[in-house]
């Protein structure tokens, strides 16, 4: 008999005849029910234990799968991050390569053109300047012969007197030396221009060279002289030079000349834009001006190029050296000029190129270069 049934009988049925057949059948039925309940409980317990084990195994498998997925996601994320970094670096390398190619091509073409022009100018001018002194000597000899004729033949005759009066010999005698000197000065000036052209177009080598920055600035201003002159829209742009005594620095001269060219040309472009919106009288009253200052600071030289133009808002100033950024209209600029300048100063010369600007307060570019390579 089931132990629970025995306890219940002893507790509640002490006065009942347990040998009665009907009661025995009842007890047997109850006992069977108790036993069946135990069997069902044990079966349910086993089922629950089995389900719990299966759930634990499934949970373990799910956790393992989740961990594996997390590892794969992390690996894939790292791969994508590395690929993105490589793509960014590749894009930066391509942009730098584009800038270098444009810079090299522009400087090569411009250098060849300017050097060729300088050479073509130099040859005939050299001939002219070289012969001016000889021509002066010949003229002095001829005037001396005329004076000798005048002494030997004080009365040359009416025809010669009339001719001397017609050509005004005294005026020729006074003006011809001045004319010769003017020709010589003009020839020397052309030679100076030719030399400046050669300086600007100076081809760079694989190693840095000693270079006087003032020569580079002066040659660049010479190239841009035609753009600085007055035109129907504005008066002449004034150039103010404040040079200190700079030592020659180790650099790539042709590249630095391009930096000067890009900055100065941008300033002139800006002044031309301003002139379209400002009256000629106002521009005369407040002349457009570019000031160039040079000085040394320790082991560095600094060049500051400042204009009194319209300045730049912060949104423009913060992007001014970015690749392909430009404020000019389509066809007026590529957005590479200042990018190239920044690359030349910073990457090629280990220097600094900065800009300071406020709207209506003008713009100032600062170039800082080490004296030694």
- Per-residue pLDDT band for 352 (boundaries 50, 70, 90) equals very high
* C-alpha pair distances (Å), 183 with each of 126, 136, 160: 12, 11, 30
The pLDDT of 231-243, averaged and rounded, is 95
Helix (H, G, I), strand (E, B) or coil at 82: helix
The residue ranges of every structural domain in the chain are: 204-373
- In the prediction, which pLDDT does 97 show? 64
**How far is 253 from 350, CA to CA, in rounded Å?**
15
% helix, strand, coil for the chain, step of 5: 65, 10, 20
The pLDDT of 18-46, averaged and rounded, is 70
Asked if the model's pLDDT at residue 53 lies above 80, the reply is no
Least confident of 145-149, 282-286, 319-323: 319-323
Q: Kindly give the pairing relationship between strand 289-297 and strand 363-370.
A: unpaired
Report the CATH architecture of 204-373. Answer: 2-Layer Sandwich (3.30)
- Asked if 304 and 365 count as a contact pair (C-beta separation under 8 A), the reply is yes
Q: Distance from first CA to last CA of the chain, Å, rounded?
A: 109
- Per-residue pLDDT band for 163 (boundaries 50, 70, 90) equals confident
- Asked if 267 and 291 count as a contact pair (C-beta separation under 8 A), the reply is no
- In the prediction, which pLDDT does 288 show? 96
- What percent of the chain clears pLDDT 70, i.e. is strictly above it? 77
Longest CA pairwise span in the chain (Å)? 193
Helix (H, G, I), strand (E, B) or coil at 353: strand
* C-alpha pair distances (Å), 93 with each of 96, 97, 99, 352: 5, 6, 10, 20
- Asked if 303 and 291 count as a contact pair (C-beta separation under 8 A), the reply is no
- Per-residue pLDDT band for 70 (boundaries 50, 70, 90) equals confident
Taking only Cα atoms into account, the Rg of the chain, rounded to an integer number of angstroms, comes to: 49
Q: pTM (2 decimals)?
A: 0.58
- Per-residue pLDDT band for 124 (boundaries 50, 70, 90) equals confident
């Amino acid at each position: 008999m089931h132990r629970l049934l025995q306890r219940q009988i002893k507790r509640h049925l002490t006065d009942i005849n347990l040998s009665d057949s009907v009661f025995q059948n009842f007890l047997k039925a109850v006992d069977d029910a108790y036993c069946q309940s135990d069997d069902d409980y044990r079966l349910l317990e086993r089922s629950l234990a089995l389900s719990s084990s299966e759930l634990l195994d499934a949970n373990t498998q799910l956790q393992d799968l989740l961990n594996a997925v997390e590892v794969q996601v992390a690996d894939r994320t790292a791969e994508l991050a590395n690929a993105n970094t490589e793509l960014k670096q590749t894009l930066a390398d391509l942009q730098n390569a584009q800038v270098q190619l444009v810079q090299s091509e522009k400087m090569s073409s411009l250098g060849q053109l300017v050097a060729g022009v300088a050479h073509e100018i130099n040859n005939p001018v050299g001939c002219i300047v070289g012969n001016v002194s000889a021509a002066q000597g010949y003229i002095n000899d001829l005037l001396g012969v005329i004076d000798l004729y005048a002494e030997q033949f004080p009365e040359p005759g009416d025809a010669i007197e009339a001719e001397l009066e017609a050509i005004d010999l005294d005026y020729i005698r006074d003006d011809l030396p001045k004319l010769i000197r003017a020709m010589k000065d003009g020839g020397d000036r052309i030679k100076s221009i030719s030399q400046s052209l050669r300086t600007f177009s100076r081809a760079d080598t694989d190693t840095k060279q000693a270079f006087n920055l003032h020569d580079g600035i002066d040659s660049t201003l010479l190239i841009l002289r035609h753009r600085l002159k007055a035109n129907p829209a504005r008066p002449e742009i004034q150039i103010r030079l404040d040079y200190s005594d700079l030592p020659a620095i180790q650099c790539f001269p042709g590249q630095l000349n391009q930096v000067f060219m890009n900055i100065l040309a941008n300033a002139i472009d800006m002044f031309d834009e301003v002139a379209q919106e400002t009256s000629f009288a106002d521009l005369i009253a407040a002349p457009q001006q570019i000031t160039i200052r040079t000085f040394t600071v320790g082991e560095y030289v600094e060049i500051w190029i400042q204009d009194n133009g319209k300045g730049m808002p912060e949104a423009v100033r913060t992007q001014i050296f970015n690749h392909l950024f430009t404020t000019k209209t389509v066809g007026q600029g590529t957005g590479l000029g200042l990018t190239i300048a920044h690359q030349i100063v910073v990457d090629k010369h280990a220097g600094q190129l900065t800009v300071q600007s406020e709207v209506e307060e003008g713009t100032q570019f600062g170039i800082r270069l080490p004296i030694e390579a």
